[in-house]
Structure 1
Amino acid sequence: MSIVRSLGRAGIEVDLAWCEKGAIPASSRYVAKWVDLPLPLHRVDWCDFLETHLRETSYDLVIPSGDLELLPLMLRRVRLERVARLAIPSDESFRIANDKQLSAELAGNLGISVPPWIRLLKQDDYIPGGVPIPCVLKPASSFQLGGSVTTRRSVRHAFSVEEADAFAKEMLSDGPIAVQSYFSGRGVGLEVLCRDGAILVAFQHERLHEAPHGSGSSYRRSVKIQPELRDAASKISAALNYSGVMMVEFKQRSKDEWIFVEINARFWGSLPLALVSGADFPRYLYEMQVNNVSSFDESYDVGRTARNLLQDIRWFRENWKADRNNSYLVKIGRLRSIFQFLPLIFGRDAVDTFVRDDWRPGMREIANLALMKLEKFRPIPPKSRSLGLPRPSSILFLCKGNICRSPFAAAAMKALSPELQVVSAGTFPVGGRCAPDDAVLAAGRFGLGLDMELHRSQVVSAELLGRADRIVVFDPEQMAWLRVNHPEALPKTSYLDGIIADPYGGGEAEFQSCYQRIYELLTKYQALGAKL
């Protein structure tokens, strides 16, 4: 959304693709046209559609907004660069920047402070005593390049040897990991625009609210550039011969105590703060790549604050519940957390989605939230209303993440009615995720031939929704999502039998109870001949 606003304000015509039509950025006044192109990997021939569109439209520049858009372009760059200019880094600089282990090695070789770390290659490797607890376990990259580029791998924080061993075993099933000493401090980002390894523009922010385990932030403040951090970013950019936008992430305990964390070779989540502070990176990128401009005003306002409102509300809940006895968690006092919302109340904070010249995305965000809340109060039939619908030949089970409820329901349905075509998917926009260990154990007790350990989530698409004769959801969140993004699917959508709560985050007993209920309901419908 910030990219769209930046370019639109500069008088540049902006088309938007690879997002749902009901997505918040699509409602921006600066979107000239929403282009209905297949999302990457939702169809194997997505590149054919994109190449044809780029050839017919002749854009000045194609800008990926995040990892899920950048990685497909990297995989098909040779083909796509024949028809369009892509705002993506070189293959070699991206190979290092996208790999947390290679980028840590690079930083260490450049004399930049990096915590001690080791690499684990396979599941029977162990964590040597040389790595202290607590520690951070990192995959080589958050998104794997190759195969399904939507495969997301998360960083984990372990506060005991047992926890570290369990996380390592789980993460190593998807490839090598690095185990790094934990460094407590505040997250700091140095954002830059580079050309041939030289920094043209730089901007620095610090995290005011970040998740207790230190990943992600919802409230940030622009600060004066720290020469030591700029020097570190400059060394990295020069070593990579980097061209494009990039954020170098650090953790800082004091002015003299800081470490390198990672490189984001793309636009970053705190981009709205850079814009309100006067660092207009999307426009700078456009001017550099399209008009060959290499000199920009590097001044910006220091002390500006901006927050992602909905994420900040979630942060407040997590911070409130955080273990006060764990000194390694990133948290602030509960009373202080309340007072930190005063700048928002008095209008001193910018809000990522709400701006005066483009108010519709903010209203869309509030409307979507309200719709989701109202959905919980809609009457839900005591039994699935789909019993009165025509007998289906294909069923789509839809939950949030496609790692807990829907994959189990699909396996159970296949076991009970082999003649049906059954698939499962999730509304969460990241595929390739693993099922939790407790889900694997609970599902294994039913003997349905489902190995949840091998299951990887997939993201729901218009194509999946269209192919299904029946769509089954588990709670109001999915129903509200369909109401906003795919209302045409509502007539063939129903609950299984009232709300079945997401067991994610619960123990094995909670998963067992959830799966038992799903299995009993499916068995009952199958016995009645209703087949949902």
Structure 2
Amino acid sequence: MQCVKPINESLVHPERRKRVLAIVGDTQVGLWVVRSMARNGVTVHAIVNTPDGQSAHSRYSASAWTLDNRPGKPGFAEEIEELARRLDVGSIMPVSEAYHNALISVRERFEPDIHLFSPSRELFDKSTDKDYLQNLCVELGIPVARGLRLDELMEQHGGEALAFPLVLRTRRQNIDAGKVPLKAAYAENRAQLDDWYEKFRDFADNVIVQEYHPGAEEHVQILMHNGEPFATGDYIGEHHMPLAGGVTVQRISCHHQAVIDDTVKLLKALGWQGIAGVQFHYDPESARYIFLEINPRFSGGLPTVVMAGFEASFLLWQSHFEPDRMRKKTYRVGLRTRILGGDANWVLGHLRRDLLPPGQKHLSPVRAIATFLWNCGPWTKDDSFLWSDLKPFFVDLKLMVKKLGARGHDIIGHPGA
């Protein structure tokens, strides 16, 4: 491991339980995990992917480190344990699914001495299995797209059981092989479905195919505590990168009670405890929606959620260490935030005429550029910018220039990303 930001002893809390090792990566999501806890009196030591990790440059991180070993590699667990004990922390808080998955498998190395903010193995596996969740939603009466595994669709039904257009996604994310090399692939006719089947044939049992429903992505960040929802914050994804179905690079906070009610119903059925991000497709015109997936972690729109009033990482920490002191704030609806570099690449995607989801049309060059410039006004917040913590924004600005033109965007700090 390497120390990329020396320990600031003035930020180290004397109580061990108030010291956290947060595995945050290089992104805005990890930065707001740090900010939310540190602004509320918790010491945060950050693990970043590179010295350019935004949290390594934040005044709120007590120190920052990079690891020699990635999840799944020999020595990973030993390295995390060595750092956690060197810093004498009371807990470990991962951000990306890869780190959750790896740490859950070695949980006994840490607990009960060092608390791990990750779900159980059973819950993690269920929450990342889209096929299982689709069947559970049907049982619970939660709207969900009709779907089948790709191998079932093609081999048992001849590709004729679902109505076009179709969307193809990885069924189980956390296995080493058999992932769709896109967040989402689309088939608008039988010929396109056949082409995708040929490409995915070797792992067709790990691809779920669903009927495509139009609408915007709605994400619900939720904290379940003692079997009940303690706090929620939802937002609509306005811009994505890639255009065809990528991460949200611009979003606006909202509140749709029916969506939240179904989120709670689903997580209660799972027996969920802790943080989760639940994703839907929501049609603003009809208010109809369908369930898409659960992310057993902080949502990619965490900057929006925290700025709107839901201190997700701090409340998660409190839920274990001081639950009697947990307090909710009013959640602000209509707050718009964006990733500056991601939104710049969203404009370039429209100029290049990148692939779009079925039924959508590209903006004209003038409108795409005008939309980007309009959102440079103070009515749209930047995911990194904070007057009391300016340096991460300038680090992000420097990296934005390097990544201009990229067709994808990482928001949750994937290892090595």
TM-score range normalised by the length of the shorter chain = 0.7 to 0.9
Q: Secondary structure at the match of 2:330?
A: coil
Greater per-residue strand proportion: 2
1:127 deviates by 5.1
Larger radius of gyration: 1
Q: Secondary structure at the match of 1:249?
A: strand
Contact 2:223 2:274 in 1 (8 A): yes
Partner of 1:274: 305
Partners of 2:152 and 2:36 in 1: CA distance = 45
In structure 1, which of residues 281, 296, 301 is the aligned counterpart of residue 332 of structure 2? 301
Partner of 1:382: none
- Structure 1 356/177 Cα, relative in aligned 2: closer, same or farther at 3 Å? same
User: Are 1:165 and 2:165 counterparts?
Assistant: no
Partner of 2:399: 368
Q: Secondary structure at the match of 2:305?
A: helix
User: Are 1:312 and 2:322 counterparts?
Assistant: no
> Aligned runs of 1:131-530 on 2, under 5 Å?
131-144=162-175, 154-174=183-203, 175-210=205-240, 211-223=242-254, 225-253=255-283, 254-293=285-324, 295-322=326-353, 328-329=359-360, 331-332=362-363, 334-370=365-401
Contact 2:180 2:200 in 1 (8 A): no
Partner of 1:99: 129
Contact 2:318 2:326 in 1 (8 A): no
Partners of 1:59 and 1:295 in 2: CA distance = 21
- Structure 1 325/123 Cα, relative in aligned 2: closer, same or farther at 3 Å? closer
- Structure 1 293/265 Cα, relative in aligned 2: closer, same or farther at 3 Å? farther
Q: Secondary structure at the match of 1:262?
A: strand
What does the per-residue CA deviation read over 1:335-376, in whole Å, with 9 as the maximum and x for residues that have no partner? 443332344332221101111111111111222345678xxx
What does the per-residue CA deviation read over 1:105-142, in whole Å, with 9 as the maximum and x for residues that have no partner? 11121101111111134897375212122101121133
TM-score normalized by the length of structure 1 = 0.65
Once superposed, what is the RMSD of the aligned Cα atoms? 3.0
Partner of 1:87: 117
Partners of 1:15 and 1:41 in 2: CA distance = 19
Q: Which runs of 5 or more structure 1 residues have no equivalent in the other structure? A: 374-399, 402-428, 432-458, 461-532
What does the per-residue CA deviation read over 1:158-211, in whole Å, with 9 as the maximum and x for residues that have no partner? 223222222233234245211100111111111110024311001111111124
Partners of 1:212 and 1:122 in 2: CA distance = 29
What does the per-residue CA deviation read over 1:9-51, in whole Å, with 9 as the maximum and x for residues that have no partner? 1121111125222323211111111234323247411111212
Partner of 2:17: none
Counterpart residue identity of residue 228, structure 1? A
TM-score normalized by the length of structure 2 = 0.81
Counterpart residue identity of residue 196, structure 2? F
- Deviates most, 175-184 or 149-158: 149-158
- Deviates most, 230-239 or 155-164: 155-164
Partners of 1:295 and 1:48 in 2: CA distance = 33
- Deviates most, 35-44 or 12-21: 35-44
Partner of 2:104: 74
Contact 1:123 1:173 in 2 (8 A): no
- What is the aligned-residue identity percentage? 22
Q: Which runs of 5 or more structure 2 residues have no equivalent in the other structure? A: 1-30
Partners of 1:81 and 1:148 in 2: CA distance = 30
- Structure 1 204/124 Cα, relative in aligned 2: closer, same or farther at 3 Å? closer
Counterpart residue identity of residue 63, structure 2? K
What does the per-residue CA deviation read over 1:275-308, in whole Å, with 9 as the maximum and x for residues that have no partner? 1111111111111122124753252111111000
Partner of 1:508: none
Partners of 2:316 and 2:263 in 1: CA distance = 18
Number of residue pairs the alignment of both structures matches? 377
Contact 1:272 1:352 in 2 (8 A): yes
Partners of 1:137 and 1:323 in 2: CA distance = 18
Partners of 1:328 and 1:348 in 2: CA distance = 29
- Structure 1 214/329 Cα, relative in aligned 2: closer, same or farther at 3 Å? farther
